[in-house]
Amino acid sequence: MKRNVNLQIRVRKWPTAMLTIFLLCVVSTPLDAENASISEETVGQTYQEISERFTRKWAKTLRPLEDPDPDVDCLAEALYFEARGEPVRGQIAVGEVILNRVENSGFPETVCDVIYQGVDFDHGCQFSYACDGLPEAIDDKTSHDIALRLAAFLMREPERHFAKGALFYHALYVSPNWTTGLERLAKIGNHIFFRP
């Protein structure tokens, strides 16, 4: 009986512990003026104005791609698997990182090649979903439709709204050592964005 009581106490403490860990992660990564969204500094709009523009409702109004394009399909797949739970501005920022890499001589020249760079090497993947060993099953059609529309928009849009210069990002719940020496640009949703 005593063992059962101890187990109940531990189970009851679990949600409190998880909430504490979550709050510590959020509080330890403040978004202050120095780490504000790049677009605030370069576009001249406030973060609130930008956030209000880039919504799911807005994304649903975007024109989808008319002709098949493997790069748009790869970009949409990356947005879906890397960022579908993020606000639209976070999905756009992830897409902009991929496009920034395409334009950078240190990375492959196509969207698909950037996304799948390193999949043949242990611990070499640039995007975790590309080599997690799980099938890429799309089971949320609405989110996938938004990802397709955002990918088409990003391929047509020359301006970078959130990730100007960002070549890297990671989720808040990890602390990779590769960020050493990189400039932190912004925290958008559950990702932090960096440039060299």
pLDDT tens, residue by residue, 20-45: 333 333 333 333 333 333 333 333 45
> What does the domain layout of the chain look like in residue ranges?
1-30, 33-195
Quote the percentage of the chain above a pLDDT of 90.
Answer: 49
Instruction: Please tell me the predicted confidence (pLDDT) of residue 101.
Output: 96
Please give the structure tokens belonging to residue 188. 């958008």
Contact call for residues 71 and 110 (beta carbons, < 8 A): yes
Return left, alpha or beta for 44; rule: phi > 0 is left, psi -120 to 50 is alpha, else beta.
Answer: left
Q: Which CATH number fits domain 33-195: 3.30.70.3420, 1.10.10.2520, 3.30.360.10, 3.30.565.10?
A: 1.10.10.2520
CA dist 109 and 140 (Å) reads 30
pLDDT tens, residue by residue, 103-138: 999 999 999 999 999 877 766 788 888 887 778 889
Residue 83 has pLDDT above 90, yes or no: yes
Confidence of residue 65 (pLDDT cuts 50, 70, 90): confident
CA dist 102 and 115 (Å) reads 10
Residue 53 has pLDDT above 50, yes or no: yes
Exposed / middle / buried, residue 182 (Cβ in 10 Å: 0-12, 13-18, 19+): middle
Query: If we measure between CA atoms, which residue out of 126, 83, 86, 124 comes closest to residue 104?
Result: 126
Confidence of residue 67 (pLDDT cuts 50, 70, 90): confident
